[in-house]
Structure 1
């Protein structure tokens, strides 16, 4: 689901980021070295001997600056036609970049669909499962769809071109962009911390947990500070803090689809 919702005041979970201890300054002198230089200067009538400065260690070398951007990735908006179709639009951008001139409506129409969760005669809350179908209707009321059925749909439209890398490490995902390929990813709107919004049973009695504000985007670039994505909600490239994106992407199951 990709409509903007109020940010929760008490999210279900927050993943803490590990602090990074600062490296010691490369030019810092040890106390014995300073004492030796002082003694040398006081024991002679000549000018004080220069204080030797240790060479910087390899650990103190600042990291190289990174910046990668995939060229010519189209930015499409889901609005107004697909208010809950961010996944279809993110997939359309990836399909277009791969050379298939398909529209967002054609992709939305190709998605398998399931029912919105509702109470049945037995009092149970039952609905479709985003692991199998799009829950609801991307043109109207709907929740969304996850990587497996989306990957299957994209392979039907453009066979053999895509790779589902869900479950890969964050470094592997960044490596896809470094290699010059965009990736469809699942995260949240504005990289807000996801929270459990609703639970229901699917037709096979499997528990479905839906986290909001779920959102799909096309990852097109990154540097040491930001991730750059074509956002279906705005129809433009947006920049989000790299650390925030990492946290949210992993909380949403590390879902991603790219090209072979």
Structure 2
């Protein structure tokens, strides 16, 4: 923990604490299991049409239609992982976002994205739902949650007058995330380092009285492919590069971190 955080009193949380979402418990989607059927049939219709208004109007329907199927195996070709080190040792969230933006053709680098567009709080008066807590250029930075990455992306799009926009799809099952991948949309997800699940370590109260929880293993990655037969995911891990993870432990870590996920609608 950084000594620049006088308001952050680190204490070890009770061992009985389970699923946290950087300050709040996130409601599960209807099906968070990793027990996928052979054809991976989806029977939910939970999404609406989202739009971001700029000088142009752009609307992309990301809803999952009832009974719609997607293939057992799919990988977004040529998706290259962007590494956070050495510039952003604790900036996995903004690095993951930058990797997706670069894949979609946007000319932006991770440091500029962090410095100019990501809300930051260096003193701990906020929570990770509103800003990145700390400094991603420091080894002792904390992190941020999905709403901050959505704001970062949308502020960047607005700066270049792009009609593209980010969508917070937190609360969706892993199966629903894979549907988005099958539509060609990489999914930014909150997980843990090496998929380890351990009790949450730190908490504090903000000046406004909000509760803040932080798990030191918090990590952010991008799912860009899957294989339901082998039960693996193709993941861009900012600490490791392009890797394969087993689906079941990844889903456990994803649930543990509050089922947080973000997608980008549109490209350059």
TM-score > 0.5 by shorter chain:
yes
> Aligned to 2:100, what secondary structure does the other structure show?
helix
2:106 equivalent to 1:100: yes
What is the deviation of 1:19?
A: 11
Q: Is the 8 A contact 1:87 1:217 kept in 2?
A: yes
**d(CA) in 2 for partners of 1:229, 1:18:** 19
Gap change, CA 1:143 and 1:99, over 3 Å in 2: same
**More displaced 10-residue stretch of structure 1: 157-166 or 209-218:** 157-166
The answer as to whether partners of 2:118 and 2:151 remain within 8 angstroms in 1 is no
Runs of 4+ in 1 over 4 A off after TM superposition: 17-20
Taking the TM superposition and a 5 Å limit, the aligned residue runs for 1:2-13 are: 12-13=17-18
Length, aligned pairs only = 197
How far off its partner does 1:172 sit? 0.9
The higher radius of gyration belongs to: 1
Tell me the residue number matched to 2:168. Answer: 164
Q: Give the TM-score taking structure 2 as reference length.
A: 0.68
For residues 135 and 33 of structure 2, what CA distance do their matches in structure 1 show?
Answer: 40
- Give CA-to-partner distance per residue, 1:185-228, whole Å, 9 cap, x none: 10001111142110101121111111230000111111121111
**What RMSD in Å do the two structures reach over aligned CA positions?**
2.4
Provide closer, same or farther for how the CA distance between residues 135 and 179 of structure 1 changes in structure 2, counting only shifts above 3 A.
same
Instruction: Please give the secondary structure, in 2, of the residue aligned with 1:102.
Output: coil
Larger relative contact order, structure 1 or 2 (CA cutoff 8 Å, min sep 6): 2
Residue 142 (str. 1) matches residue 147 (str. 2): no
Partner residue, 1:191: 195
Which residues of structure 1 form unaligned runs of 5+? 2-9, 21-63, 118-126
Aligned residue number for residue 175 of structure 1: 179
The answer to which structure has the higher helix fraction is 1
- Residues 13 and 166 (structure 1 numbering): CA distance in 2 closer, same or farther, change over 3 Å? closer
TM-score by length of 1: 0.70
